[in-house]
Amino acid sequence: MIECKKCCQVCGILLLILGILFLLQDLEIWNFWNINWYTALFILVGVGKLAMSKCPECQAMGKK
């Protein structure tokens, strides 16, 4: 899996947001969804892969 700096940063930000949302759910501060952590992780990985497939920098790095 080869990622450019931009895609890696976006995936990191999304992972941080997802982690904070699950922390708020675990602390019973904000319970707004009823999904498991692994479902959210699969969605995050899918979004990251889709973004990498459309990113010209990632495409150029993969061809090396």
Is the pLDDT reported for residue 2 higher than 80? no
Give the tens place of pLDDT for each residue, 37-63: 888 889 888 888 888 888 888 878 776
The pLDDT of residue 40: 85
Distance between CA atoms of residues 52 and 50, nearest Å: 5
Is the pLDDT reported for residue 12 higher than 80? yes
- Maximum distance among all alpha carbons in the chain? 47
The pLDDT of residue 64: 57
Q: Residue 50 is part of which domain span?
A: 5-62
Q: How many domains does the chain fold into?
A: 1
Count Cβ atoms within 10 A of the Cβ of residue 46 and give its class: 0-12 exposed, 13-18 middle, 19 or more buried: exposed
Supply the pTM of this predicted model: 0.73
Distance between CA atoms of residues 44 and 27, nearest Å: 22
pLDDT classification of 33: cutoffs 50, 70, 90: confident
Q: Which two tokens stand for residue 41?
A: 């992780």
